[in-house]
């Protein structure tokens, strides 16, 4: 087709022929031969018209699409090139050529496929298995390449046509039909984005997006094979550049199969591997229709979460761990108070962030009192002198006015009633009191990924989720281990379906005396494979005292135990208890490790 409408199908994978083991070659080859069709040799003059009516799936300023002299179609396994194009550009006549027809009674059956690489090649008059008298099997690749320098519009990338003519008829006409729909994305970067070069778009869905599909002769159904997959990656180019600059709006067209009422997520990555995302929760894609989506002011402020996924219940729920323990400072490490967003809108004072490394712990309470500088809670304003970072928190101290007196991030109290969210000891940090959860209420800055997530993106695990993750999920005994990373001891939790990276060793289990020791370089490899590390950050007692850092780990859950206590994950050498419980008072502040739901 003309450059403006050139296809993105140069990477379409040919359907792979099955290779059989020698031990059963005779039997299976015999069966295979029965599935092959010996075509009848014909000399035909073929013509093909492009869709210009309701069957087309493209839009442009002229509302048409035209053939190009470089185009070819595949007819029952034979590639045939264009010899001439009609005045409108919509009808092409192909070279008079040999073709192999599928005999069916008194008729010859032909399938035409565009681009030609979408079909296998005939050999010795044997028509490939993807052509039958009643259906066409085609493969949509798991990776497409979109070159914007040659593909301003690509709405008719994959097409096919069916023809049944009297046996021996020389003239065969094909009315091309689209095999899928088209997703049109108009992308524009935010003016402040650090990198505006996009390299790929990853589509994921509850429906099938790539692999083998089958259509009937009328193209009314397009059915995925059971092996088809739910993801599709589109690699982006602009001539020799392996990216597209979206400083100004750019239009990208992607071919997708027809699916009904499915969740579809479009994630766009830039050169720094940061991403932005748009999700349609119940989207139907009909064949030969175009669907428009706009992603403007893309800031690329998110990055794929590598720590996980981890199963947290028997219903298939999974989470990713945050890249480090939660930390807070009244001044953001500076000398004057900072502000952060809170759930429901507005701002509060102080800065929340994830530790730069998984092994990072504060380990002490600095040299002064652990008070805040200008933090609001219950309409009170406290002004003291601590300007460092905290990573140990008393239960439910997100800063939200929950009805508890001590909701400041730095707060601890020996008065039990001060830690009743909503003023009632039965309340956990969920439901109406979910804002008492640190990750739900606060925006959190990620020093590793240049990301500040809005409130509600992260949360703390419940007691039952800690229990399932640590002691009930499949193979849990081999998915936890003792470790020392950069000299800090702690607990390794491995994601589902874990594979140990080459060149590293790991002794799993927590009852063993073996402590797996990793340098920062070695741990970076483990981390890239999804491993989470919970350091033994110790306990802050009251406002100034921190004890047993590097020896014991205690991580809060959101679940209240009874009128006095709350559940937490507790570990020390040889022991892991995911449902320990302890008083919410007694001035004790422990670690918080947030998670993000993966589904």
Domain boundary among 298, 326, 342: 298
Is 169 part of a structural domain of the chain?
A: yes
Q: Are residues 13 and 124 in the same domain?
A: yes
Residues 217 and 272 in one domain: yes
Cis check for the bond before 83: say yes or no (omega within 30 of 0).
no
Instruction: For residue 456, tell me if it sits in a domain.
Output: no
Ranges assigned E (strand) in 115-249 = 126-127, 135-140, 143-147, 159-166, 171-175, 177-178, 181-189, 197-205, 211-216, 222-224, 231-237, 244-245
317-326 residues labelled b (16+ CB within 10 A) or e (exposed) = ebbbbbbbbb
Task: Answer yes or no: do 201 and 125 share one domain.
Answer: no
> How far is the C-alpha of 93 from the C-alpha of 86, rounded, in Å?
8
Separation CA 553–CA 246 (nearest Å): 46
Please give the sequence-ordered ranges of beta strands (E in DSSP) within 29-134, or none if there are none: 37-38, 40-49, 72-75, 78-85, 91-94, 97-104, 107-114, 126-127
- Provide the residue range defining the domain that includes 118: 3-134+156-177
For position 386, what pLDDT does the model report? Answer: 61
pLDDT of residue 367: 35
Q: Which residue has the tokens 């930390």?
A: 327
> What does the pLDDT read at residue 557?
97
Q: Domain containing 218 — which CATH number?
A: 2.60.40.2630
Same structural domain for residues 68 and 205? no
For residues 259 and 237, membership in a common domain is answered with yes
Q: CB–CB of 491/534 below 8 Å?
A: yes
| Phi then psi dihedrals of residue 224, to 5 deg | -75, 145
pTM of the model: 0.53
Residue 317 located in a structural domain: no
Pick from 150, 123, 252: nearest CA to 198: 252
pLDDT at residue number 57: 67
User: In total, how many domains does the chain have?
Assistant: 2
What pLDDT is attached to residue 538? 87
Q: Which residue has the tokens 């800063």?
A: 399
**Is residue 267 included in any domain, yes or no?**
yes
Rounded average pLDDT per 10-residue block, the chain, 599 residues = 37 27 30 61 92 64 70 92 88 89 96 88 88 92 83 62 96 92 89 90 88 92 85 88 94 88 88 83 87 85 77 95 91 68 76 90 53 42 58 89 75 72 84 93 72 81 98 95 94 95 93 90 91 92 72 94 89 93 82 91
174 neighbors 47 (Cβ within 8 angstroms): yes
Task: Kindly report the number of other CB atoms within 10 A of residue 403's CB atom.
Answer: 15
CA separation for the pair 524, 529 (Å, rounded): 9
Residues 120 and 247 in one domain: no
Which pLDDT value is given to residue 217?
96
């Amino acid at each position: 087709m003309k450059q403006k409408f050139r296809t993105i199908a140069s990477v379409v994978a040919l359907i792979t022929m099955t290779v059989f083991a020698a031990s059963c070659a005779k039997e299976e080859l015999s069966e295979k031969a029965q599935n092959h069709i010996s075509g009848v040799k014909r000399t035909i003059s073929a013509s093909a018209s492009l869709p210009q009516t309701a069957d087309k799936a493209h839009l442009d300023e002229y509302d048409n699409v035209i053939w190009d002299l470089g185009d070819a179609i595949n007819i029952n396994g034979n590639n045939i090139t264009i010899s001439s194009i009609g005045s409108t550009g919509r009808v092409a006549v192909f070279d008079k050529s040999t073709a192999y027809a599928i005999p069916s009674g008194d008729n010859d059956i032909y399938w035409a496929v565009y681009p030609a690489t979408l079909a296998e090649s005939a050999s010795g008059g044997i028509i490939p298995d993807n052509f039958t008298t009643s259906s066409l099997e085609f493969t949509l690749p798991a990776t497409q390449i979109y070159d914007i320098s040659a593909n301003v519009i690509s709405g008719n990338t994959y097409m096919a046509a069916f023809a049944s003519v009297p046996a021996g008829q020389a003239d065969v006409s094909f009315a091309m039909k689209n095999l899928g729909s088209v997703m049109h994305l108009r992308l524009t970067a935010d003016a402040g984005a650090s990198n505006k070069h996009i390299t790929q778009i990853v589509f994921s869905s509850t429906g099938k997006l790539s692999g083998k599909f089958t259509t009937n002769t009328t193209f009314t159904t397009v059915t995925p094979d059971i092996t088809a997959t739910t993801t599709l990656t589109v690699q982006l180019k602009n001539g020799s550049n392996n990216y597209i600059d979206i400083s100004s709006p750019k239009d990208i067209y992607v071919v997708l199969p027809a699916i009904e009422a499915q969740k579809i997520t479009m994630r766009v990555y830039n050169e720094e591997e940061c991403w932005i995302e748009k999700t349609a929760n119940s989207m139907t894609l009909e064949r030969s229709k175009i669907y428009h989506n706009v992603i403007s002011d893309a800031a690329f402020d998110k990055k794929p979460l590598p720590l996980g996924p981890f199963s947290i219940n028997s219903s298939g729920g999974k989470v990713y761990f945050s890249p480090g323990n939660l930390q807070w400072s009244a001044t953001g490490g500076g000398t004057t108070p900072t502000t952060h967003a809170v759930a429901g809108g507005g701002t509060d004072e102080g800065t929340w962030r994830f530790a730069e490394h998984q092994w990072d712990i504060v380990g002490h309470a600095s040299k002064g009192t652990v008070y805040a500088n200008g933090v609001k809670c219950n309409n009170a304003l406290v002004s003291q002198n601590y300007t460092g970072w905290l990573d140990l928190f008393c239960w439910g101290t997100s800063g939200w006015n929950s009805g508890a007196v001590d909701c400041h991030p730095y707060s601890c109290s020996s008065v039990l009633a001060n830690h009743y969210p909503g003023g009632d000891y039965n309340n956990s940090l969920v439901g109406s009191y979910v804002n008492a959860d640190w990750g739900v209420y606060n925006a959190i800055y990620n020093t590793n990924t240049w990301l500040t997530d809005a409130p509600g993106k992260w949360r703390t695990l419940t007691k039952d989720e800690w229990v399932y993750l640590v002691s009930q999920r499949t193979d849990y005994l081999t998915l936890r281990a003792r470790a020392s990373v950069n000299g800090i001891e702690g607990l390794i939790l491995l994601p589902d379906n874990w594979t140990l990276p080459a060149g590293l060793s790991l002794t799993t289990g927590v009852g063993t005396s073996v402590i797996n020791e990793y340098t920062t370089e070695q741990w970076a490899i483990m981390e890239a494979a999804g491993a989470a590390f919970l350091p033994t950050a110790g306990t802050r007692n009251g406002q100034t005292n921190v004890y047993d850092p590097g020896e014991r780990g205690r991580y809060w859950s959101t679940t209240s135990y009874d009128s006095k206590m709350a559940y937490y994950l507790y570990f020390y050498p040889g022991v892991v208890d995911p449902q320990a419980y302890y008083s919410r008072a007694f001035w004790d502040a422990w670690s918080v490790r947030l998670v993000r739901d993966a589904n």
